[in-house]
Amino acid sequence: MAADYQNILVPVDGSESAERAFDKSVKIAIENGAHIDILNVIDTRQFMGDLQDSLIGGDTIYQMTQDAESYLQNLLAFAQEKYNFDKVDYHVRYGSPKRIISVEFIKDHKNDLIIMGATGLNAIERMLMGSVTEYVNQHALSDVLIIRTDLENKKVAKK
């Protein structure tokens, strides 16, 4: 990995694919002396519409935020315990994951590399709107490294 990547963005959604990408990003950051921003985007588009107030309240959004922060803190602890790596900050944002990951967050934090999993948790969104990974790969303001899952297991299974 080129040593010119110093500020890595790793968007995570709780999927196994995202967690593998985070693990790989820590290894890359250690090799390059880089910093990592872990990002979880709470997709607020699912709350829009005429029934917004009756479907979701402030307590629900607060709980989602608390859950996201707890998840991100666990990833931070993983990096520290497994790799003794602490050059990590975590962030929670609200809105469209595609737009926030590919443009808005990078403008704010000057990330020069995005490392993300090939697939996330939301299969319905992939079918209806295309995957977040595909969108980010096409529109990001920085380089994108997509981590594939289970490559080692697939190689073993083919033997």
Are the CB atoms for 123 and 17 separated by under 8 Å? Answer: no
> Which fold would CATH assign to domain 7-158?
Rossmann fold (3.40.50)
- Fill in the amino acid letter for 156: V
Are the CB atoms for 21 and 128 separated by under 8 Å? Answer: no
Tens-digit pLDDT string for the chain (159 aa): 445 899 999 999 988 889 999 999 999 999 999 999 999 999 877 665 544 554 566 788 888 999 999 999 999 999 999 999 999 999 999 999 999 999 999 999 999 999 998 876 555 555 544 588 889 999 999 999 999 865 554 443 333
Query: C-alpha angle with apex 29: 25 to 34, nearest 5 degrees?
Result: 135
Q: What is the DSSP string of 46-107?
A: GG-STTHHHH--HHHHHHHHHHHHHHHHHHHHHHHHHH----EEEEEEES-HHHIIIIIHHH
Place of tokens 């990590």: 88
Please tell me whether the overall predicted TM-score, pTM, comes out greater than 0.85 for this model: no
Between the alpha carbon of residue 123 and those of residues 16, 39, 84, 120, 136, the distances in Å are: 14, 20, 34, 8, 17
